[in-house]
Each structure stands twice: as structure tokens, then as C-alpha cells.
Structure 1
Amino acid sequence: MNSIWNYWRKLNIKSTELIGVAVGAFIYSMTYNYLLLPSHLGEGGAMGITALLYYAFGVPSYLSNLLINAVLIVIGYKLFEKKTTYLTIWAIAWMTVFLKIPVFYTYHTHELIVPTLLAGALTGISIGLIFRFNGTIAGDTIIGKILNYFFGISLGTGSLIFDLFIVVPFIMIIGFTNTVLTVIYLYVYSVFTNQFLANIGAKKAVLVVSPKYRQIAVTISKELNQEMTIFNGTGYYSDADQHMLYMIAGPRRVTKLVPIIESEDKNALIVIENIRSARGLDMRRIL
């Protein structure tokens, strides 16, 4: 038991990650049960296969989703970090539970664009939430990883290929109109996922080049307690020494950083970039 506990601690899985992934799985499952299925819309990835089996043969969604993703996780186990793998298993487990909950209210409308857009927004938020807390829902993510590993296809392109491959058969089951709406749903869902990840918990890299770098660093550290690194460089044309400040901060912090920098040196060069990930055993010491 101690060895299992120690191994779990080494993965450094936080309670906030477990809760965040579970909440994302709940939103996704409820969207699937209360919006997608009643509106006779399709899906991409493993849930798309699940929807196909449900529409064609009445196979319970919770069961087929569990079995399909279990196979995919076994196949793609070595392609993910162990932490991501276990959080993915955690997400699939909760999706199985939530998908099995009976539907208490069936939503029907003749304006199918409404549930299409609403489902796309909620799915995007739920997937963004799961990704934000280092999990996935397997499915097209694992297929994308496999295609990237064996054929060099980018993760996004590989996932899209798999999604389109799954969506095409829906034409014969739910009709052309609902299949088109499914494609719209997938697009809206991808947009909301990207926006969620870009704005919630995102990080930005801030690079500052200024002869007053020391004064800027002191003010930023004093007012915001912001960690930063000083780089030494040389201008190519001037052949003069240049000093640069490098910082990683959230969007809200950046809105405070820029005015401070400009107040110290209005001519300072400020470069701000979005970053996908920032990791380190001791980020405060490094920066």
C-alpha cells in the first residue's frame, strides 16, 4: 500500500486537477445526453463512434464509450506522460458514471441551430477544462498522437482526420442536414476550446529590452513580486551589449506589467507571446 501511495505522490496529481477534470467530464456528459442525442446530432472521435452505435443499434453510450477508450488508452499508453494518462483514465471513469445517469428532461426544438451552437460552446468549455487540468478524454487525442508518432502528422491534423472519418457515416444515419450541423458543432466546440485555453489559466512570456532594465526589474519586483530572468545579449548591427528581462505571467499580471515598464522607459521594447506550457521543478528559482 505504501509503494502505491508513494508512486501516486510522485505523479504530483493535485486535488484541484482531479476536481477540475471531473467537472469537465460532467459538463461534457450532460451536454451529450441533454443536447446532442435529443437533437439527433453526431460527434467526432470516440464519442462519435459511441453516438453511431447508439443511433444504429441502441448500444448504451456509457458502455461503448468506456470500452472504446479503454482500448485506445492501452494502445496509446506510452505516448502520454503518466500523469496525463491517469488523469485521462479519471476523466473516462467519471464520463462513464455521468453518461449512465438517466435523462430527466428531453430538450426538443425545431430550430436545431440553437442546440448545435449551445452544445458546441459547452463541449468546448468542458474539454478546455479537462485539458487545463492536464487530462484528456482519449479518443481523437490518442489517435492524433499515434498518427503523429508513426507518420509525422501534426496532432491537430491527425485528430481532425479521425473526426472527419467518423462524421462521414452519420450522413446515412442522421441525414445530410444533421451531419452538416454536426460539422458546425465540431467547429464551434474547437473554437471555444481554444479560447478557453487561451484565456483561462494561460501563460504569457514577456521579453523587455531596455537600457533601464535594472530600474524596471526593481520596480516590477517591488510592486508585483514578479519573478524574472536577466539575459545578456549583443546587438547585431550596433555590436553593443543589450540586457533583456524575461518573465512568465498570466494575462491579468501582464496588464499590470506593461504600464510599469512604460512608466520607467517609454521607449522600451516589449514583446509578449502566448505560451502553451511552463514547467520546472523550481520555477521561482529558475526565473
Structure 2
Amino acid sequence: MVYALAINSFLLPNKLGEGGVTGLMTIFYYWLKIPPSLTNLVLNGILLFVGWKFLPKQTVLYTVFAIVSISFWLRVTSPLQFNLHDPLVAAIIGGVLMGIAMGIIMKGEGTIAGSTILAKIVNKYWGIKTGSAMLCFDLVVALPSFIWIGFENMLLTIIELYISAVVLNKMLALFVAKRSFMIISAKSDELACALAKLNQTGITLLDGHGYVSNEPKKIIYCVCDANLQVKVMHQIEQIDPLAFVVLEEVRSAYGGNLIKLL
């Protein structure tokens, strides 16, 4: 529904394009007046064959559901059109809504077909961020669109695509945000026990050696959800205020009950 609102309420009324299949939907609408719901169904149906070969079957089945849902909501929301005085506002709002919608869909292990299928494949085999890969594919359609929507609107479309890619990357990172801790402490065993109970996952103890002190050290390494960051720091401060702590953001983690590449 959010995806359909972005197209019907902000992109089409302000003559903005899009990338991938969505971009072709807008071009066919401006050029031949073909309903976006029909274009979405036909073109994405073709691209599903590619996804069936390279992506998990569950993802493809969820994508079928997403395509049908989007076509339905494109029909339902077609009367909700906002002709804004400043098309830049439409590009910004449309980009944010697109990013949010695709983030929710991809969080559910689905895609909206089109360039998102290709982006998922690139992410799976080369590890490139999904939003960034999708932006590259979308530009292939968006750049020639100036023939139908004009040069200025084509530039606004590129702004909208960039915003949606940034929002998508942020959304996916938000859903799977992780933090890694590397802790050097004189109370490593006590601290590791407390963190294991707090984090409910494994804690790794590494053998180290202090170069300056010339003493053996135990190094604690753990990865936890971002929402546990403050609790972990508080636990460390309570047990060993003198502990040396290195905290880092984790873009992706894989294995066990952790998360795959974004």
C-alpha cells in the first residue's frame, strides 16, 4: 500500500519517473496510458523466472504475493493524487515512501521483482548493499526517461531514486543492527559469564599478550543487537570499570542465529 501510494500520489501526478520496472510503468503510463497495475503484473511476471533460478524459492513466492498486492493497491489508490507546486517535494516524499515500502518487503524476505530481484542476486553473490545495487539498475531506466518526462523531471527522478536507496539501506540496517564488542579485562571470566546471560548468545574468549605489560590477557569478543548496547556497557562498568572496550557497528553477520548480508 505504501509503495502504491508513492507511485499514485506523488510520482505520477507530478510527472516523475522511477527506475526498473516501476520506471517502465510510469513511462508506459505517460506514453501509452497503460495502467501501471497491468504493466507491473506482466513485466514482473517475466522477471520472476530469473529470480526462480538464482534466489530461494520462498523469496520468489513472497515476491509473487507482493506483485499481486502492489497491483491491487495501485488500482485502489489511483484516485489519491497530489499535484504539488514544487515537484522536488514530491520527489523527496516519494523517495522516502519507496524506501520504507521496499525495506518492509525485503525484511519479510520478499522483493517487488524488477530491479530488486537483480539487486538481491548481486547482494547474494557479490555482497554489494541491496539499495546501492538497486540504484545502479534503476538509473539504466531513469536516465533515458527524459524523452517522456523532460530533463528537469529526469533529474528529480534521480534524486528520488537516490533517496529511496539511502532509506532502503537504512531500513535494512535498522532491522538487523548489530554491535561488536572487544573487551580486555582482568575479570574476563566473570564478565563473559554476565554478558552471555544478558546477550543469550555465545561469547568468545581469545588469548592475548600485552606487549608493554608483558602479561597474558584474555580478550572477550561478542556480537549483540544494537538495542543491547547500553546494557552491555553498563554491565561492563559494574563488573570492571577499568576494562578496555572497543565498540564497532556491524554491517553484516552470518552464521548460527545471526543475520545475513544486507
TM-score bin, normalised by smaller chain: 0.7 to 0.9
Equivalent AA in structure 1 for residue 250 of structure 2: N
**Corresponding residue to 1:138 among 102, 110, 113:** 113
Aligned partners of 2:118, 2:76: CA distance in 1, in Å?
28
The answer to whether residue 196 in structure 2 is matched with residue 226 in structure 1 is: no
Q: Is the 8 A contact 1:79 1:145 kept in 2?
A: no
Alpha-carbon shift at residue 253 of structure 1 (Å): 0.9
**Corresponding residue to 2:243 among 241, 264, 267:** 267
Alpha-carbon shift at residue 147 of structure 1 (Å): 6.6
Corresponding residue of 1:57 = 32
Measured against aligned partners, the alpha-carbon deviations of 1:2-59 in whole angstroms (never above 9, x if no partner) come to: xxxxxxxxxxxxxxxxxxxxxxxx2111111111111110101111111111111111
Alignment partner of 1:169: what SS? helix
Corresponding residue of 1:175 = 150
Aligned partners of 2:166, 2:123: CA distance in 1, in Å?
22
Aligned partners of 1:205, 1:67: CA distance in 2, in Å?
45
Aligned partners of 2:251, 2:227: CA distance in 1, in Å?
15
Alignment partner of 2:220: what SS? strand
Aligned partners of 1:83, 1:277: CA distance in 2, in Å?
21
Aligned partners of 2:195, 2:56: CA distance in 1, in Å?
35
Alignment of structure 1 residues 132-171 onto 2, 5 Å: 132-144=107-119, 154=128, 158-171=133-146
Alignment of structure 1 residues 200-279 onto 2, 5 Å: 200-221=175-196, 224=198, 226-235=200-209, 237=211, 241-265=216-240, 266-279=242-255
Corresponding residue of 2:79 = 104
Corresponding residue of 1:43 = 18
Corresponding residue of 2:44 = 69
Aligned partners of 2:6, 2:250: CA distance in 1, in Å?
30
Measured against aligned partners, the alpha-carbon deviations of 1:160-199 in whole angstroms (never above 9, x if no partner) come to: 3321110122111111111111111111111211222222
Alignment coverage as a number of residue pairs: 255
Equivalent AA in structure 1 for residue 149 of structure 2: I
Structure-2 change in CA distance of 1:84 and 1:246 (3 Å): farther
Equivalent AA in structure 2 for residue 67 of structure 1: V
Alpha-carbon shift at residue 200 of structure 1 (Å): 3.5
Measured against aligned partners, the alpha-carbon deviations of 1:207-260 in whole angstroms (never above 9, x if no partner) come to: 3332322121233355x3633322333348578654333333222211211122
Task: Give RMSD over aligned pairs.
Answer: 2.8
Equivalent AA in structure 1 for residue 26 of structure 2: A
**Corresponding residue to 2:90 among 115, 121, 128:** 115
Alignment partner of 2:109: what SS? coil
Structure-2 change in CA distance of 1:153 and 1:51 (3 Å): farther
Alpha-carbon shift at residue 118 of structure 1 (Å): 0.9
Aligned partners of 2:2, 2:27: CA distance in 1, in Å?
21
Aligned partners of 1:106, 1:225: CA distance in 2, in Å?
47
The answer to whether residue 61 in structure 2 is matched with residue 86 in structure 1 is: yes
The answer to whether residue 164 in structure 2 is matched with residue 189 in structure 1 is: yes
Q: Is the 8 A contact 1:228 1:245 kept in 2?
A: no
Alignment partner of 2:150: what SS? helix
Equivalent AA in structure 1 for residue 224 of structure 2: A
Structure-2 change in CA distance of 1:146 and 1:254 (3 Å): closer
Aligned partners of 2:60, 2:210: CA distance in 1, in Å?
46
Aligned partners of 1:274, 1:186: CA distance in 2, in Å?
26
Equivalent AA in structure 2 for residue 181 of structure 1: L
**TM-score, scaled relative to structure 2:** 0.84
Stretches of structure 2 lacking an aligned partner (at least 5 in a row): none
Structure-2 change in CA distance of 1:199 and 1:237 (3 Å): same
Measured against aligned partners, the alpha-carbon deviations of 1:112-157 in whole angstroms (never above 9, x if no partner) come to: 111111111111111111122222212113334667899x795656
